[in-house]
């Protein structure tokens, strides 16, 4: 007891030491959370991060815990995994469709107003309206990201890859990040910036999965006893994998492509049971997208809303191909492969030089 009091007094004296030179002390202290900056390059200094535990230690205690559970509890756990996979696909499909409808209508009304100015030969007003609208949309997206959710910057796919491979990425899947990601994507794409909705939709799907797995945001969590089964890194990882695959499916309307993206690109831990759950999520996304397409064909989605996430849809046009058409397509593929290999080679060399400089 006396030793602890002496240590506290010594620390207090050390903090109040008048001979201490504050000029040499750093003004800012290192934050012990990951500064998730998607623009960081190789060689940058990273802060302290934690790893995630995805392995199951099948010791005697673990086996005893499973044997002590009743059949009803096991069925609850299995049912909840499939229910959450279904909800992830449902919510991801709805949000992706609403984002696309907002982008289509905002861009459509903006271009319609510009066309009216051009028809009236008021070219300067059309130019000012077009640039001013794009500036406002970009400003809204950027100010939300900078002030409220910096972790929403960028596509979010690198951080999802890091999380699914065992690296904790703090504050990447919160409710604020999800809201800013949705509004920011609408503003940035509607402004005509050189970006798309594919990467943000993957991040949005992961955020939805994370929030469902933990019962909602930190301040407003649902106190449901069944969610205690998901209070571990392994099940949360599986659910976020379903969310990432649902985001890819929503972006390209490709359920198998979403599953293969999660299998080949983002997840290192994979099981056959997870394959079926991710496919369940992507299948639900496709059903939701198709339902909105049928709804929008009736004119209930605004003046420009089509419902689908593919802008230039040619499904209603009969297209015929000849054998000779394969030759230019093959040449384009060869050129693309050569340029892609050259890009990867130069990028590797540049990053090596950058790493040596720093």
* Contact in structure between 223 and 229 (CB atoms under 8 Å): no
Which pLDDT score, from 0 to 100, does residue 204 have?
92
Structure tokens at 287: 């059903």
For helices 175-190 and 198-214, give the axis angle rounded to 10 degrees. 160
Nearest to 202 by CA among 235, 172, 232, 229: 172
Q: Where are the alpha helices (DSSP H) in 218-303?
A: 233-252, 255-261, 272-296
Nearest to 54 by CA among 236, 226, 265: 236
pLDDT tens digits for 294-333?
A: 888 777 776 666 655 555 455 556 667 788 888 999 999 9
CA-based R_g, the chain, Å: 26
Measured between alpha carbons, how far is 55 from 44 in angstroms, rounded to an integer?
Answer: 30
**Other CB atoms closer than 10 Å to residue 160's CB: what's the count?**
28
* Contact in structure between 140 and 180 (CB atoms under 8 Å): no
Phi–psi pair at 51, nearest 5 degrees: -95, 160
Which pLDDT score, from 0 to 100, does residue 16 have?
47
Torsion of CA 27, 31, 32, 35, to 10 degrees: -140
Q: Is 239 helix (H, G, I), strand (E, B) or coil?
A: helix
Which pLDDT score, from 0 to 100, does residue 197 have?
80
Which pLDDT score, from 0 to 100, does residue 31 have?
43
Which pLDDT score, from 0 to 100, does residue 54 have?
66
Which pLDDT score, from 0 to 100, does residue 333 have?
93
* Contact in structure between 205 and 246 (CB atoms under 8 Å): yes
Q: Is 34 helix (H, G, I), strand (E, B) or coil?
A: coil
**Other CB atoms closer than 10 Å to residue 60's CB: what's the count?**
7
Which pLDDT score, from 0 to 100, does residue 34 have?
44
Measured between alpha carbons, how far is 289 from 292 in angstroms, rounded to an integer?
Answer: 5
Which pLDDT score, from 0 to 100, does residue 25 have?
45
Altogether, the residues listed in the chain come to a count of 358
The secondary structure of the chain in percent helix, strand, coil, rounded to multiples of 5, reads 70, 0, 30
Taking the domain 73-319, which CATH number applies?
A: 1.10.3080.10
Which pLDDT score, from 0 to 100, does residue 176 have?
87
What is the domain partition of the chain in residue ranges?
A: 73-319, 320-358
* Contact in structure between 206 and 95 (CB atoms under 8 Å): no
Tokens 């492969």 belong to 337
Which portions of the chain are predicted below pLDDT 70?
Answer: 1-49, 53-58, 62-63, 65-66, 218-229, 302-319
Measured between alpha carbons, how far is 215 from 208 in angstroms, rounded to an integer?
Answer: 10
* Contact in structure between 306 and 313 (CB atoms under 8 Å): yes
- Give how far Cα 73 sits from Cα of 67, 77, 110, 181, 230, Å: 11, 6, 55, 36, 13
* Contact in structure between 245 and 209 (CB atoms under 8 Å): no
* Contact in structure between 246 and 84 (CB atoms under 8 Å): no
DSSP state string for 195-228:
--SHHHHHHHHHHHHHHHHHTSSSTT----GGGG
């Amino acid at each position: 007891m006396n030793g602890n009091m002496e240590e506290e007094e010594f620390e207090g004296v050390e903090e109040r030491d008048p001979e201490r030179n504050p000029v040499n002390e750093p003004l800012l202290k290192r934050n012990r959370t990951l500064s998730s900056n998607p623009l960081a390059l190789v060689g940058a200094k990273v802060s302290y991060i934690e790893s995630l535990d995805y392995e199951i230690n099948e010791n005697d205690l673990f086996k005893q815990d499973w044997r002590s559970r009743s059949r009803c509890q096991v069925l609850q756990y299995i049912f909840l995994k499939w229910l959450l996979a279904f909800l992830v696909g449902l919510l991801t499909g709805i949000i992706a469709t609403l984002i696309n409808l907002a982008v289509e209508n905002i861009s459509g009304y903006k271009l319609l107003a510009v066309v009216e100015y051009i028809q009236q030969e008021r070219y300067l007003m059309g130019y000012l309206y077009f640039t001013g609208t794009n500036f406002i949309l970009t400003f809204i997206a950027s100010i939300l990201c900078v002030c409220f959710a910096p972790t929403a910057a960028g596509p979010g796919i690198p951080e999802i890859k890091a999380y699914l491979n065992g690296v904790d990425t703090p504050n990447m899947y919160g409710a604020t990040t999800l809201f800013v990601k949705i509004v920011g994507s609408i503003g940035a794409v509607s402004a005509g910036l050189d970006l798309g909705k594919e990467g943000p939709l993957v991040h949005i799907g992961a955020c939805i999965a994370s929030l469902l797995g933990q019962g909602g945001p930190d301040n407003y969590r649902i106190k449901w006893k069944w969610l205690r089964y998901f209070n571990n890194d392994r099940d949360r990882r599986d659910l976020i994998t379903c969310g990432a695959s649902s985001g890819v499916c929503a972006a390209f309307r490709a359920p198998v492509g979403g599953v293969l993206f999660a299998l080949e690109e983002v997840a290192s831990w994979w099981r056959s049971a997870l394959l079926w759950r991710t496919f369940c999520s992507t299948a639900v996304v496709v059903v939701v997208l198709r339902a909105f397409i049928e709804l929008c064909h009736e004119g209930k989605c605004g003046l420009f809303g089509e419902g689908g996430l593919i802008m230039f849809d040619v499904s209603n046009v009969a297209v015929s191909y000849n054998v000779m058409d394969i030759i230019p397509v093959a040449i384009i593929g060869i050129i693309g492969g050569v340029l892609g290999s050259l890009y990867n080679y130069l990028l590797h060399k540049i990053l090596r030089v950058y790493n040596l400089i720093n």
